Structure 1
C-alpha cells in the first residue's frame, strides 16, 4: 500500500448507494476491511433504507431519507496505526447494507408446474397453467436480512422473485378449490381470483420479509388431458340437449347408438370371438328399438318429427326411412 493510499484510508468518507442498480434488492457498501471511519457521512436517498451491522450485530435501521453522521470506534490514524499486530486492521467492523424500499413492479410470472384441483360442478380433475404479473417490495427488511439474505454482499430482485414465485402454484390451487369455481367460469372470475390469491400469498410473503403490492392473473391454459375431458363433457351436453329436443333421454339415445354400432360391426363382433347369431340378435334388437321409437304413439306429431330428424342425424335411420315416416305423420297431421 502506497503512503498516499494509506492516509486516504484514514479519512472520513461519504457513504451512499449512488446510481442505484434496479436489479438489486440489497447492496453492501464496499469498504476496505469494513472500517468505516468516525465522522463519515451516510446519505440515504429516496427509495432506500439502510441496515448497519456493527461488530457482528445489527446496530441501527434507518428508514428516513437524509444525511447521517457515522460514529464508531474507528478513529482515523489511531485505530490503524496502533494495529500493527493485526496487520493494521481494526476489529471494529461496521458493515452498511442499503436496501430498496420502492416497489419492484410489473414482474411477469408463470407456473412451471400444473395446478391441480377437482371441478366442483362436473367432478373431473382439472390441470392448468397460469400466467400474469405482480409487484412486491421489502415488507420487513430486518427479517429478510437476518433470515433470508444473511451475510451476503448483495441480493437481487430476481432471486426474491423466484422465491415468491415458488409459492404461487400451491396458493392458486388452494384458492381454486375453496372458491368452487368450475372450469367454465375461470376466465370470467380472474379479477376476483387474483384478489384472493394475493391475500393468500401475502401470508407466505410475510414469512420471507416481503409483501406483494399487486397481483394479476392474465390467463390460464388447460393441459391436454383436461381439454379431452372438457370436450367429452361438451359432447355429452350437446347430445343431451339434442335428445331432449327430439323427445328422447340421453340414455335412450346412447342405447340406440350403441345398438346401431353393434349391428353394423360384424367384423368387430367376430374379432371379439362372438358367434354370428349374437350379431344377428343385436341387429334384431336394434331394429326393434328403432321401430319402437318410430311408431311411438304417446307424443304429438311435432315432437315426433323432431325425434325423426334426430334419428336421421345420428344415423340411426336411413334417409328413406325418414322420408317415409315424415310423409306418413304429415298425412295424419
Structure 2
C-alpha cells in the first residue's frame, strides 16, 4: 500500500513561473493522497472547483494537501481519498506583486488646437503600474478561459485606449499645447482613473500612471525653443546681441581679428549696461556736469580808463568820474 501511495504522490506548484506572468493554472490532473502544495514568495494559491473558489492560501511554504489544505476548503472538507483515486481540482497561482510597465505612443496623437487645423501631433511615453486585487472577478472573466495571463496582455489592452485618453486629458480645460510637461501630473492622474475603469472588470487595478515626457515634431520643437529664447532675452536688441555673439563664436562674423575684437568689446559694453539697468531699474543715471555759462561780453568797443584823465581819481568801472564828473 505504501508503494502505491508514493507512486501517486505529486507536488502542486507553479511549474512555469515567469516574472511577467500574472497567473498560471495547474489543471487537468488529479491531486492524490500525500500530495503537497508548494507556495513561493509573492504567490497566492487558489483552489477552484467547477469555477467556484474553494479556498485561498497566501502564506509561502510547503503543505500536505490531505491534512493541511482539504480541511479548509469550503465544499470539499469531507473529501476522502480512496485507493487509486484522487481529487480533481484546479489550482490557480497568482503573482501578487505590483507590475511596472513602460509605454509609449506608437504614432503621433493629433491633439485639436486652433493654431494647427490638422491638430498638434504629439508623442508621449512613461510607465504605469497595476496589480491583481479581485480574485473572484479574475477567475470569472479571465482565468475561466485562459491557462495563463501575461503582463503583455494587459499592456496591449492599455495601449489600445491610451491614445484616446491622452487626447481627452490633454485637450481638457485648455491645456497649454506648448508646455504640456507643466501639466503632466494632472494629465497622468486623469488617465489613471480612466484606465482603472478599463481593467477593473478583469479583477485588476491601476496603482500608478506617469507621463515621463511629451515629444513634438522637430519643427514645432525648434519653434518652441526659439520662442523661449526670445522671451528669455526680452527684446530684439538683446536678441541681436546674442545672435552676433553666436556668430563670432562660430566664426561667421568676418573681418579679421581686430573687427571681431572690436565687435566683442562693443557687445560686452552694451550687455553690461543692459545688465546694470535690469539690476537697478529705479536708479537714474548720474547727471553729466554742465559747463558754466560764459560772462557776457561788454557792449561796444570803448574801453574805460583806469584813472580819470581830468582829475586823476581812480576809476571803478563807472561811465563818469565820481570826483569831477568827467565822461570816461
Question: What is the TM-score of this pair, normalised by structure 1?
Answer: 0.55
The structure 1 residue matched to 2:19, chosen from 22, 33, 37, is 22
User: Once the 2 structures are TM-superposed, how far is the Cα of residue 94 of structure 1 from its aligned partner?
Assistant: 0.6
The corresponding residue for 2:144 is 150
User: Once the 2 structures are TM-superposed, how far is the Cα of residue 20 of structure 1 from its aligned partner?
Assistant: 4.2
* Pairing 1:130-149 to 2, within 5 Å after superposition: 130-149=124-143
The corresponding residue for 1:86 is none
1:114-150 alpha-carbon deviations (Å, 9 max, x no partner)? 323323x747522211111122111323322321343
Which segments of 5 or more consecutive residues in structure 2 lack a partner in the other structure? 71-75, 237-328
Query: Residue 150 and residue 136 in structure 1: after superposition, are their counterparts in 2 closer, same or farther (change >3 A)?
Result: same
The structure 2 residue matched to 1:49, chosen from 40, 44, 56, is 44
Q: Secondary structure at the match of 1:173?
A: helix
The corresponding residue for 1:329 is none
Which segments of 5 or more consecutive residues in structure 1 lack a partner in the other structure? 80-89, 244-333
Report if aligned partners of 2:138, 2:203 keep a CA contact under 8 Å in 1.
yes
Distance 1:148 1:50 in 2: 16
Query: Residue 112 and residue 5 in structure 1: after superposition, are their counterparts in 2 closer, same or farther (change >3 A)?
Result: farther
Distance 2:203 2:107 in 1: 25
Distance 1:110 1:5 in 2: 58
* Pairing 1:229-240 to 2, within 5 Å after superposition: none
The structure 1 residue matched to 2:112, chosen from 93, 109, 118, is 118
User: Once the 2 structures are TM-superposed, how far is the Cα of residue 19 of structure 1 from its aligned partner?
Assistant: 8.6
The corresponding residue for 1:300 is none
Higher helix share: 1
Q: Could you say what the CA RMSD is over the residues aligned between the two structures, in angstroms? A: 3.7
Distance 2:89 2:12 in 1: 12
User: Once the 2 structures are TM-superposed, how far is the Cα of residue 59 of structure 1 from its aligned partner?
Assistant: 3.1
Q: Secondary structure at the match of 1:216?
A: strand
User: Once the 2 structures are TM-superposed, how far is the Cα of residue 70 of structure 1 from its aligned partner?
Assistant: 3.4
Q: Secondary structure at the match of 2:178?
A: helix
Greater Rg over alpha carbons, structure: 2
Report if aligned partners of 2:141, 2:201 keep a CA contact under 8 Å in 1.
no
Q: Does 1:193 align with 2:187?
A: yes
Distance 2:223 2:161 in 1: 28
Distance 1:113 1:76 in 2: 61
Question: What is the TM-score of this pair, normalised by structure 2?
Answer: 0.55
The structure 1 residue matched to 2:81, chosen from 70, 75, 86, is 75
The corresponding residue for 2:52 is 58
Q: Secondary structure at the match of 2:158?
A: helix
Report if aligned partners of 1:136, 1:214 keep a CA contact under 8 Å in 2.
yes
User: Once the 2 structures are TM-superposed, how far is the Cα of residue 7 of structure 1 from its aligned partner?
Assistant: 5.4
User: Once the 2 structures are TM-superposed, how far is the Cα of residue 157 of structure 1 from its aligned partner?
Assistant: 1.9
Q: Does 1:35 align with 2:30?
A: yes
Distance 1:228 1:18 in 2: 51
Distance 1:59 1:149 in 2: 12
Report if aligned partners of 1:133, 1:217 keep a CA contact under 8 Å in 2.
yes
User: Once the 2 structures are TM-superposed, how far is the Cα of residue 58 of structure 1 from its aligned partner?
Assistant: 1.9
Q: Aligned residues, how many?
A: 218
